[in-house]
């Protein structure tokens, strides 16, 4: 898909002055977006295997020759940003599979919120495209201008690959060798970021976000985030940058999640209007 210029988001407070007609139109638009999201993102299949195996079916290099670090190597000695950050409490009925839609759906403002917090400008976002050969994987990319300490604003590009899989390490029973419980579902998002500084060369960073439900649908939706451990003279500053990026991610998540209950209700109304009541896109075990 073509790159999308991200417009500055409208603050929720600015909607308080809307007329009843404008409010009704906004609700209708959101309802249409929710329906569009379900249709456009319904094709992300679930891979019955680990993330490493899932990504094996996907090209390891982008069209521009930028490679992703193999997960086995990535996870051997990473910089751990958070181990088990609770994103949504148990009983919320959102699964890792739903995170794909919640973050990247057409009605989602998450990417715009996050880039705003990162103080990015000139953002060109290419939303996820599901792989035709590995339908459990998707790829996306982004270009922007970002602030760099001392050097000022510099061009930045980011490449993302996503997999919906059954990751053994994401199951709460994984540590118990006696357990024969199936691996828990997880959405894995791996991203490579490159800052072009001109005479100082380019700086590469890489992070991995694992959205999981270790206790399946009865438990909370949690996040484990790691980054490639930085080295060299600027390692400490790079580590601080990773932690700041995670803090911005969690803030954007919180802001976006505040819009989801009404969106879920709109999905139920939409399904009811069409004579098919199925609720939000969750499995029967979560209903």
Which stretches of the chain score pLDDT less than 50? 8-16, 23, 27-28, 30-31, 34-41, 171-179, 262-263, 265-287
Q: What is the pLDDT of residue 29?
A: 53
- Distance of alpha carbon 29 from alpha carbon 33, whole angstroms: 6
Stretch (H or E) spanning 217: none
pLDDT of amino acid 192: 96
What pLDDT sits at residue 283? 33
- Report which secondary-structure segment, H or E, holds 260: helix 260-273
Laid out side by side, the sheet with 202-212 consists of 4-5, 121-130, 137-148, 152-167, 184-196, 202-212, 221-227, 79-88
CA nearest neighbour of 113 among 8, 203, 184: 8
Residue 2: what pLDDT?
59
Q: Which residues contact 131 (CB under 8 A, 6 or more apart)?
A: 57, 58, 137, 138, 139
Q: Which residues, in sequence order, are CB contacts of 182 under 8 Å at separation 6+?
A: 166, 171
DSSP state of 284: G
What pTM does this model have?
0.77
pLDDT of residue 242: 96
**Which pLDDT score is estimated for 89?**
86
pLDDT in tens, 96-154: 989 999 999 888 999 999 999 999 999 999 999 999 889 999 999 999 999 998 889 99
């Amino acid at each position: 898909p073509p790159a999308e210029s991200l417009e500055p988001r409208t603050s929720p407070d600015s909607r308080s002055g809307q007329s009843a007609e404008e409010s009704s139109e906004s609700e209708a638009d959101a309802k249409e977006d929710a329906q569009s999201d379900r249709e456009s993102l319904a094709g992300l299949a679930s891979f019955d295997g680990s993330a490493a195996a899932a990504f094996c079916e996907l090209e390891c290099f982008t069209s521009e020759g930028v490679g992703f670090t193999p997960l086995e190597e990535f996870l051997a000695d990473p910089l751990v940003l958070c181990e088990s950050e609770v994103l949504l409490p148990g009983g919320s009925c959102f699964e890792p599979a739903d995170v794909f839609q919640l973050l990247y759906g057409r009605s989602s403002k998450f990417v715009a919120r996050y880039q705003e917090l990162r103080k990015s400008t000139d953002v060109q976002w290419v939303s996820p495209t599901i792989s035709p050969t590995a339908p459990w994987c998707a790829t996306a990319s982004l270009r922007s201008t970002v602030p760099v300490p001392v050097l000022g604003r510099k061009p930045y590009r980011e490449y993302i690959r996503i997999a919906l899989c059954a990751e053994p390490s994401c199951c709460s029973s994984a540590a118990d060798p006696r357990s024969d419980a199936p691996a828990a579902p997880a959405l894995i998002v791996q991203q490579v970021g490159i800052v072009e500084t001109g005479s100082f060369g380019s700086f590469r960073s890489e992070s991995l976000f694992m959205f999981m439900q270790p206790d399946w649908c009865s438990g909370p939706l949690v996040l484990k985030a790691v980054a490639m451990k930085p080295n060299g003279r600027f390692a400490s500053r790079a580590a601080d940058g990773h932690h700041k990026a995670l803090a911005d991610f969690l803030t954007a998540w919180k802001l976006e999640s505040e819009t989801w209950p009404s969106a879920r209700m709109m999905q139920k109304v939409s399904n009811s209007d069409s004579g098919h009541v199925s609720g939000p896109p969750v499995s029967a075990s979560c209903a």
